[in-house]
């Protein structure tokens, strides 16, 4: 899919890195991503998207929280502006993540298109893998490792999305509901992976404020929750590091 | 802003655009910016709180079919997912599977 001459032109070190990337990309992250997107596929089905739209969402947005926000808020009847604001706020983390990742590979990935592709393939699973690779091998090899990891993960996500969509369409209600519920459990646990006190406080503040603010102001509730909860957490812990 | 009616496809494309904006901005400013700075820390807090608020609301006040299920079941299943997650040394797959399985079992027991 994406050798672009890197493999045959360079020595064995790169080939080793590439196949390690293939192995890692086929292993746990792809299984996790598949399971996650299985849930998103069923949520998209439940909320009136077509299979193609669900697939495009995973391929083009490639951010589970943003995708879930989009599908859920559409169903709750929020304004377009609010949905896009919430989706955007849910994905702000890609700004610092892309800055760090692309910065790590800035001498190896010179072409702007390659840099944008690096940033697009980033996700909660692939970013740490790419960063860890850059720690343990030369940047050039780490980049060769990252391409298959990113490509395989997003492919697994797309397959999972379509699988979840079809399962939802043909399965009994219990399966449908469980797959939709999987989104909630998965994202909640994704937060639990964090050990940073500031992040934990921001998550707690958001979780506490989310339902009451939504009840008060269904349209802007999610955006207000982020601004108030996030600012509160920052005010308490953000300045001390 | 009034509610502009857009097709789901346009909604997907616009959502992709606002997401890619951050990726592109990060790629463009790579290594010319301090990601440890105060602004970034605040942005991260707001982003995490937004998603946490959404998830919490999807559990407590969901939309669609799932709103028919009992609140106690949804909260209980999330709690079981967390318990298994921590017992299994922060295993995301096991935790999520346990949460989903508890939820499905609860639905079967309630005979819905």
Question: Over the stretch B34-91, which tens digit does the pLDDT of each residue have?
Answer: 767 788 888 888 888 998 998 899 899 988 788 889 999 999 999 999 999 999 998 8
Radius of gyration over alpha carbons of chain A, in Å?
Answer: 19
How does pLDDT run across B9-35, given as a tens digit for each residue? 999 999 999 999 999 999 998 867 676
How does pLDDT run across A26-52, given as a tens digit for each residue? 887 788 889 889 989 999 999 999 999
How does pLDDT run across A127-168, given as a tens digit for each residue? 888 888 888 889 999 999 999 999 999 999 999 999 999 998
Which of A97, A189, A202 is closest, CB to CB, to B45? A202
Residue A100: its pLDDT value, please?
A: 84
Q: Do A119 and B74 touch (CB under 8 A)?
A: no
Within 10 angstroms of residue A143's Cβ, the number of other Cβ atoms is 24
Reported as a pLDDT band with limits 50, 70 and 90, residue B112 is: low
Residue A104: its pLDDT value, please?
A: 86
Q: Please, are residues B78 and B100 in contact by the beta-carbon 8 Å criterion?
A: no
Q: In sequence order, which ranges of A171-219 are alpha helices (DSSP H)? A: 173-192, 197-216
Reported as a pLDDT band with limits 50, 70 and 90, residue B8 is: very high
Residue A240: its pLDDT value, please?
A: 61
Would you tell me which residues 137-156 of chain A have a C-beta closer than 8 angstroms to some C-beta of chain B?
A: none
Closest CA to A73 of B6, B54, B92, B36: B54
Q: Which residues contact A60 (CB under 8 A, 6 or more apart)?
A: B12, B13, B16, B20
Closest CA to B63 of A115, A83, A91: A83
Total-model pTM: 0.82
Q: Please, are residues A190 and B80 in contact by the beta-carbon 8 Å criterion?
A: no
Residue A35: its pLDDT value, please?
A: 85
Across A99-103, B9-13, B36-40, B95-99, least confident range:
B36-40
Asked if pLDDT for residue A10 goes beyond 70, the answer is: no
Mutate to test the interface with B, among A48, A64, A216, A230 (most CBs of B within 10 A): A230
The CB-based long-range contact list for B35-41 (8 Å cut-off, 24+ gap) reads B35/A96, B35/A99, B35/A100, B36/A241, B38/A238, B38/A239, B40/A95, B40/A96, B41/A198, B41/A234, B41/A238, B41/A241
Closest CA to B46 of A4, A182, A234: A234
Asked if pLDDT for residue A99 goes beyond 70, the answer is: yes
Reported as a pLDDT band with limits 50, 70 and 90, residue B1 is: very low
Q: Do B60 and A213 touch (CB under 8 A)?
A: no
Distance from CA of B109 to the nearest CA of A (A): 11
Distance from CA of B53 to the nearest CA of A (A): 4
Reported as a pLDDT band with limits 50, 70 and 90, residue A241 is: low
Residue B4: its pLDDT value, please?
A: 57
Separation between Cα atoms, residue A189 and residue B86, nearest integer Å: 10
Q: What average pLDDT does chain A have? A: 88
Using the 8-state DSSP alphabet, how is residue B68 labeled?
Answer: G
Q: Terminal CA-to-CA distance of chain B, rounded, Å?
A: 40
Would you tell me which residues 40-59 of chain B have a C-beta closer than 8 angstroms to some C-beta of chain A?
A: 40-59
Residues in chain B within 8 Å Cβ distance of A177: 65-66, 69, 103, 107
Indicate left, alpha or beta for A4 from its phi (over 0: left) and psi (-120 to 50: alpha): left
Helices B71-87 and B92-110, axial angle in degrees (round to 10)? 150
Closest CA to A87 of B46, B51, B24: B51
Q: Do B54 and A68 touch (CB under 8 A)?
A: yes
Mean pLDDT confidence for A191-198: 84
C-alpha neighbours within 13 Å on the C-beta side of residue A77: 5
Residues in chain B within 8 Å Cβ distance of A37: none
Residues in chain B within 8 Å Cβ distance of A185: 77-78, 81, 95-96, 99-100, 103
Distance from CA of A106 to the nearest CA of B (A): 8
Closest CA to A187 of B85, B101, B106, B16: B85
Would you tell me which residues 80-99 of chain B have a C-beta closer than 8 angstroms to some C-beta of chain A?
A: 81-82, 85-86, 90, 92-93, 95-97, 99
Q: What are phi and psi of B94, to 5 degrees?
A: -65, -45
């Amino acid at each position: 899919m994406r050798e672009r001459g890197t493999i045959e032109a360079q020595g064995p070190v790169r080939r080793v890195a590439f196949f390690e990337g293939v192995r890692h990309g086929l292993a746990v992250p792809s299984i996790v991503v598949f399971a996650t997107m299985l849930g998103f596929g069923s949520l998209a089905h439940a909320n009136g998207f077509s299979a193609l739209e669900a697939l495009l969402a995973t391929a083009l947005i490639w951010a589970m929280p943003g995708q879930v926000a989009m599908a859920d808020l559409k169903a709750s009847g929020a304004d377009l502006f609010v949905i896009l604001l919430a989706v955007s706020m849910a994905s702000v983390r890609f700004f610092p993540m892309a800055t760090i990742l692309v910065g790590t590979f800035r001498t190896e990935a010179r072409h702007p298109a390659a840099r944008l592709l690096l940033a697009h393939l980033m996700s909660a699973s692939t970013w740490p893998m790419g960063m860890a690779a850059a720690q343990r091998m030369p940047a050039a090899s780490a980049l060769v490792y990252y391409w298959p990891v990113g490509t395989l993960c997003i492919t697994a996500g797309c397959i999972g999305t379509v699988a979840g969509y079809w399962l939802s369409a043909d399965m009994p209600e219990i399966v449908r509901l469980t797959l939709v519920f999987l989104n909630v459990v998965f994202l909640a646990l994704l937060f639990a992976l964090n050990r940073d006190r500031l992040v934990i406080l921001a998550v707690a503040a958001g979780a506490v404020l989310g339902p009451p603010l939504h009840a008060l102001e269904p349209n802007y509730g999610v955006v207000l929750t982020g601004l108030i909860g996030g600012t509160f957490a920052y005010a308490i812990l953000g300045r001390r590091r | 802003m009034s509610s502009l009616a857009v097709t789901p496809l346009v909604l997907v494309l616009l959502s992709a655009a606002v997401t890619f904006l951050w990726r592109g901005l990060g790629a463009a400013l790579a290594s010319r910016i301090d990601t440890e700075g105060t602004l970034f820390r605040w942005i991260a807090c707001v982003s995490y709180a937004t998603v946490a608020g959404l998830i919490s609301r999807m559990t407590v006040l969901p939309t669609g079919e799932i709103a028919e299920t009992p609140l106690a079941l949804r909260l209980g299943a999330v709690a079981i997912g967390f318990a298994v997650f921590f017992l299994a040394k922060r295993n995301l797959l096991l935790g999520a599977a346990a949460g989903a399985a508890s939820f499905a079992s609860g639905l079967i027991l309630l005979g819905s």
